[in-house]
Structure 1
């Protein structure tokens, strides 16, 4: 076995075990702060929290096991596809479970005398438009033959669609507005963060298409830009979480 194959197996083993541990913590969560599947529905309903944690915990564990088992046989880009597919499907199932359990619990209660507060969705249309534009540019470069049809490049382009779908998903009321105030600031921060990451991805692909034989200086510059984009995205997400009420 060559060094690349060993590195791939160790990478899959490390990340898979991390997901398995995270899944076990989620499955056994009893409402500890920062642990478990947390969306608006789970804060409003203990029943929704328990059921969603079970679904997300099992899904995360299965994703980790699949990653450990498949990493010896998959080239390096494809473990990311396993993670995206596994966690993306888990997120959707856990959301649907939480929503269903919350609605069932609400139906079992008597109707309130006065209507509850209407939660307005945050306006993230411009960030969704930006991400759709960036994703479109990536696929134009790919379909025009400016980029190699390498599985890793294709996966990176598909990742932008996943980020776009995630932004649409978390902009819905009671999904990512986690704090009791539900101001939508966390969803807006997340949308800005995903737009920054998507812009960084399309910039990387554009540089690869226009200058396939990049100089070491350009490679270092792009690395610094990538790190800056990731730092900005993380800072924006954390700041918006603080403003929403998490501290």
Structure 2
């Protein structure tokens, strides 16, 4: 066993163990703040919260087990794909479960005499347009052969599509309402943060296309830019969550 294989197995082991613990906490959550699958439907319905936590917890645990079991056989890109597919599928199923349970509960209640307060969705159109542009640049570089079409680069570029879809979802209050009251500040902050990450991916692929044999200094510079973009995205996300009232 070489060093790369050992690193890959340790990566799968530790990340898988973390997901198993997180999934167990979600599965056994009793409504504690910050634990479990939390969107607008789960704040409006206890029934939706319980069912969504069950689906989310089981899916997260299974994803963790898959990472541990497959780490000796799959490359890092394959493990990353398993992680994205497992967690992405879990999020979709948990969301659909919460939505269905909330609607079933609402159908069983009498209609209110007066309509409730209307929640306006935040406008994230400019962020969607920017991400479409960055994603278009990345796939144009791949399709024209300016960057290698290896699985790792294709997977990195595909992350931009995931961020694009997530940005569209965060604009819907009942999808991305992580705090009991929704004002849209956190959704806008997350949309801005995901746009920064998408821009960083496009920039890295552009550098690979322009400088196939980049110097160590350029690689260090790109690493610093990437870290800066990630830290900025995290800062924007946290501050917007604080402004929304989720702390």
Moved more, 87-96 or 69-78: 69-78
- Counterpart Cα distance in 2 of 1:214 and 1:183: 45
Q: Alpha-carbon deviation of 1:196?
A: 0.2
Runs (5+) with no aligned partner, structure 2: none
Q: What's the TM-score once normalised by structure 2's chain length?
A: 0.98
Residue correspondence of structure 1 range 37-52 to structure 2 within 5 A: 37-52=37-52
Aligned CA RMSD, in angstroms, stands at 0.8
Q: Secondary structure at the match of 1:77?
A: helix
Number of residue equivalences: 247
Shift of residue 220 of structure 1?
1.0
Q: Partner of 1:29 in structure 2?
A: 29
In the alignment, the residues of structure 2 paired with residue 181 and residue 233 of structure 1 have an alpha-carbon distance, to the nearest angstrom, of 23
The 8 Å contact of residues 12 and 71 in structure 1, kept in 2 or not, is answered as yes
**How far apart, CA to CA, are the structure 2 residues paired with 1:179 and 1:75?**
38
Cα separation, 2, equivalents of 1:43 and 1:21: 23
Q: Distance in 2 between matches of 1:147 and 1:40?
A: 41
Matched-pair contact (CA < 8 Å) for 1:177–1:183: no
Deviation, structure 1 residue 118: 1.0
In structure 2, C-alpha distance between the alignment counterparts of 1:63 and 1:183, rounded to whole Å? 33
Cα shift readout 1:50-69 (whole Å, capped 9, x = no counterpart): 00000000000111111111
> TM-score w.r.t. structure 1 length?
0.98
Deviating above 3 A after TM superposition, structure 1's stretches of 4 or more consecutive aligned residues are: none
Equivalent residues in 2 for 1:76-91 (5 A)?
76-91=76-91
Q: Structure 1 residue 180: deviation in Å? A: 2.5
Residue 67 of structure 2 corresponds to 67
Q: Deviations over 1:146-181 (max 9, x none)?
A: 111111001001111111111112221211122222
Q: Which residue of 2 aligns with 1:141?
A: 141
Of the structure 1 ranges 167-176 and 62-71, higher mean CA displacement relative to structure 2 is found in: 167-176
Work out the CA distance in 2 between the residues paired with 1:129 and 1:87. 26
Unaligned runs of 5+ in 1: none
